[in-house]
């Protein structure tokens, strides 16, 4: 199972919106609505930000939203804040009954 | 409060065996899957496999099948990741994380265990 494809880096200014894409195949993202997104700050454990494509866990800011079209999922962060600077990973369930992560995207807040 | 507490950092030599642990508390440990995720230095997250403590069912990523063993002891609310013969390429941070279903997201994570394999 190959890793999902994410851009290596994205950047935006405070207050702006950014979108991170995550491209898979018809065997993972395209087949299931089990896409999740994680935020990881340096030296810290990952934190769940979005699950089931577009649901937010309790306590996660509504500035974070998720969507999916075909084999590609997306994470949008609106009203960028300095604290959003981190690495972001997507993940999907697969037809092999396993999960797979994307390669990760480094978000820089300018 | 849900917590996953992992065992401490390890320094091992190539060829040695190792078993690291992940102790869950604050929820019904037997009713949730526990997964393991590898993060090599400066690299991304890799899903290794999961175990269901209720019946010890396991699923592995093809990349890790046969390379590691994942297990759990529900009597002490603890999941394990073990190697029989470590390699330098096993040097990484390893995280455990809880999943409600085998298909679902990882909602709570341990703090990570750093494994260093060096001669």
Q: Say if residue A1's pLDDT is above 80.
A: no
pLDDT at B103 over 90: no
Q: Tell me, what DSSP letter sits at residue B67?
A: T
Give the nearest partner residue to A101 out of B47, B49, B104, using CB atoms.
B47
- The CA distances from residue B7 to B19, B45, B71, B108, in Å, are 9, 19, 15, 16
B33 Cβ under 8 Å from any chain A Cβ: no
pLDDT in tens, B44-57: 999 999 999 999 99
At residue A26, the pLDDT reads: 95
* pLDDT reading at B118 higher than 90: yes
Give Cβ neighbours of residue A22 (< 8 Å, ≥ 6 apart). A4, A5, A6, A29, A35, A37, A72, A73, A74, A75, A90, A92, A102
What mean pLDDT is predicted for residues B76-95? 98
Cross-chain Cβ contact B45/A93 below 8 Å: no
Taking the Cβ of residue A72 and every Cβ of chain B, the question of whether any pair is shorter than 8 Å is answered with: no
**Residue among B82, B95, B93, B85 at smallest CA distance from B115:** B93
């Amino acid at each position: 199972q190959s890793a999902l494809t994410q851009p290596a880096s994205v950047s935006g200014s405070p207050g702006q919106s950014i979108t991170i894409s995550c491209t898979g195949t018809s065997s993972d993202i395209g087949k299931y609505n089990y896409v999740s997104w994680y935020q990881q700050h340096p030296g810290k454990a990952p934190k769940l930000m979005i699950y089931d494509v577009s649901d937010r866990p309790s306590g996660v800011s509504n500035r974070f939203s998720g969507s999916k079209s075909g084999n590609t999922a997306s994470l949008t962060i609106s009203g960028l804040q300095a604290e959003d600077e981190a690495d972001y990973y997507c993940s999907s369930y697969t037809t092999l009954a396993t999960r797979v992560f994307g390669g990760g995207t480094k978000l820089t807040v300018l | 409060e849900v917590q996953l507490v992992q065992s401490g950092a390890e320094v091992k030599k190539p060829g040695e065996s190792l078993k690291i642990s992940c102790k869950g508390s604050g929820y019904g440990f037997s009713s949730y899957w526990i997964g393991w995720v590898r993060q090599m230095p400066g690299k991304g997250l890799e899903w290794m496999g999961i175990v269901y403590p209720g019946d010890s069912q396991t699923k592995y990523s093809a990349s890790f099948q046969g390379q590691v063993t994942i297990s759990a002891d529900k009597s002490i609310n603890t999941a394990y990741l073990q190697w029989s013969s470590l390699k330098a390429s096993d040097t990484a941070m390893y995280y455990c994380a809880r999943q409600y279903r085998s298909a679902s997201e990882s909602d709570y994570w341990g703090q990570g265990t750093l494994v260093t394999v060096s001669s």
